[in-house]
Amino acid sequence: MFDRQSGPPQTPSSTSAAGSGSAPAERVMRIAPLDLRQQRFKIGLRGYDRTEVVAFLTEAADDYEHALREIDRLRQDLARMEALLTEHREREANLRNTLLTAQRLADEMKQIAENEAKMIVREAQGRADLLLQKTQVRLEEIERDITELRLRRRGVEGSVEASIQALYHALEFIRDQDKPDDKLLLHRPRPADVPGQPRTGEQAPRDERKAGS
């Protein structure tokens, strides 16, 4: 129907660039705004008004170009949103991996801490049992020492008591030896009855005379 003087149809670079992205392949538009502006029709009998046709094509080309720009802007926004979504997904995956790693490390540290605590408790219990055994043995030794000391004290007390008894009997014996015998005193002669000894009455004046001279 149309006789294009500009050769084969042209496609906008923005449309081809957007179509090469991640979006699915779309139908390539064979008419560009420039084609509408450069299109020339043959003059025929009782045809359309040329001025109106050119004005209509110019207005359609402007709307067509505006629509292509809007599509290109939306495609750029979509690509930017997809890139942002991909970045957020990567961050989410990294955060999930970090949380899983942190949880695993926390579980491992908890298990290690529990094992160390159990080991410390076992060691403390073993030391307590050993200390208790040593204390029990020492207590038995002290009890044996106390029993032995009590026996020694009893022996010493018995020896001291026996020594006291022996000394007491010896003292009694000595005292008995020092006492005069009453029977001997009864048979002992008096000084007046002894020959050569002065009497008591005669000796007193003589002694007084000696004292006066």
Cβ-contact 39, 60 below 8 angstroms: no
% residues pLDDT > 70 (the chain): 66
Kindly calculate the radius of gyration of the chain based on its CA atoms and give it in whole angstroms: 73
Cβ-contact 36, 94 below 8 angstroms: no
Q: What distance in Å separates the CA atoms of residue 33 and residue 57, rounded to the nearest whole number?
A: 9
- Using CA atoms, how far residue 208 sits from 94, 189, 200, 212, in Å, is 146, 26, 13, 6
State residue 27's pLDDT score: 56
Query: Between residues 101 and 170, which one has the greater pLDDT?
Result: 101
Rounded to two decimals, what is the model's pTM?
Answer: 0.37
pLDDT average, residue stretch 60-75: 90
What 8-state DSSP symbol labels residue 181?
A: P
pLDDT average, residue stretch 193-197: 52
Model confidence at 173: pLDDT above 90? no
Q: What does the mean pLDDT of the chain come to?
A: 76
Cβ-contact 18, 71 below 8 angstroms: yes
Model confidence at 161: pLDDT above 70? yes
- Using CA atoms, how far residue 163 sits from 109, 150, 154, 156, in Å, is 79, 20, 14, 10
